[in-house]
Amino acid sequence: MIGERIKSLREKKGYSITKLADLAGVSKSYLSYIERNMQNNPSLQVMAKIAAPLDSNIEYLLGDESLPKLHENDLLDDEWRSIIQNAVEEGMSKGDFQVLKDLIRSNLWKKNMTERNASINEKKKTSNIIILHIDNDN
Amino acid sequence: MIGERIKSLREKKGYSITKLADLAGVSKSYLSYIERNMQNNPSLQVMAKIAAPLDSNIEYLLGDESLPKLHENDLLDDEWRSIIQNAVEEGMSKGDFQVLKDLIRSNLWKKNMTERNASINEKKKTSNIIILHIDNDN
DNA sequence: TCATCATGTTTTTTATAAAGAACAATATCA
DNA sequence: TGATATTGTTCTTTATAAAAAACATGATGA
């Protein structure tokens, strides 16, 4: 349930119910209800207000209630998310990504190969991967 | 705003407001308000009820309201998530990924270049990206 | 040791979310 | 072409979310 998540995050931060209620701008009585699942139908605004001082978001607080669970607490942080989101919007396929991933796993990572492409060279500072070839015929 | 998302998904399904309201089990008047952003603070239960017949989820409907936006409708689904999760665990950096992303954006995508690497060749079916070179010296 | 404060709970009140009409406007078809 | 059905809207009501207040319990400390 939703209450456990909030309570867990709250205690992790060392906040009392009263403190979190103040930070969030909701009444402590209502927060108390929510944590104990006595009122499990809060509005989006209340959820957002509670999530903020917990450095969380509605999605995470929903937890199993809803399908996905992505959260900084769960390894995949927001920066990653937006990077990937953009890539997908720009047409990256799962297969494309899998190549990169498999590459890393198979430790080609460590091996140096030759050849270089000038147009890509400038990207070097941010990564140790250089992509030379893009195949378009399948 | 939240209204646009719902309306967009609804129309994509070919549902009328009345139809969706029936499927979701909420009043059509309220749904109408929400779509026009005249009432932008629905409860979680209402959100969940609306999301279901749209084959969506609260997260997606929230859209910009909340930080992440991941959804099957946005191409980023659970499969993506686990792929990326694994990659991160295997040491992939954001910079590494950014190279790939920038590459796609700059439309190298469309250009064919030469050279090929036998050890990677077998990956061709799943991707149109072939990685030839991994630089390790920075 | 008793007074003040912080804790979380339960009661009461009030604000508003959400339903249930009734409505106007357009579409459908006999 | 006029009756009936759908569309989405606006008005009215009622159910309940959320605040405010009062409360109980333990902690702090003078």
Of A2, A78, A112, the CB nearest to B136: A112
Q: Tell me, what's the pLDDT at A96? A: 54
Residue A127 φ/ψ, nearest 5 degrees = -155, 155
Q: Tell me, what's the pLDDT at B53? A: 95
Low pLDDT (below 70) residues in chain A = 63-138
Q: Which positions in chain B touch A42 (Cβ < 8 Å)?
A: 43-44
**pTM exceeds 0.75:** no
Any bridge partners for residue A130, and if so which?
A: B133
In chain B the first and final C-alpha atoms are separated, in Å, by: 44
Of A83, A97, A117, the CB nearest to B98: A83
Any bridge partners for residue B43, and if so which?
A: A43
Q: Tell me, what's the pLDDT at A34? A: 97
The DSSP symbol for A92 reads -
Q: Which domains does chain A have, with CATH numbers?
A: 2-74 (1.10.260.40), 94-138 (no CATH)
Q: Which positions in chain A touch B45 (Cβ < 8 Å)?
A: 41
Amino acid A91 reads G
Sorting pLDDT into bands at 50, 70 and 90, what band is B14? very high
Of B76, B103, B131, the CB nearest to A99: B131
Q: How many CB atoms lie within 10 A of CB B98?
A: 17
Query: Lowest mean pLDDT: which of A91-105, A110-124, B50-64, B97-111?
Result: A110-124
Sorting pLDDT into bands at 50, 70 and 90, what band is B5? very high
Which chain A residue has the Cα nearest residue B116? A133
Best residue in A135, A137, A138 to probe B by mutation, most B CBs within 10 Å? Answer: A135
Q: Tell me, what's the pLDDT at A52? A: 93
Strand D nucleotides where any atom sits below 7 Å of a protein CB: 6-11, 16-22
Sorting pLDDT into bands at 50, 70 and 90, what band is B138? very low
Please state whether A18 falls in left (phi above 0), alpha (psi between -120 and 50) or beta.
Answer: alpha
Please list, in sequence order, all residues whose beta carbon lies within 8 angstroms of the beta carbon of residue B90, skipping any fewer than 6 positions away.
A101, A104, A105
Amino acid B137 reads D
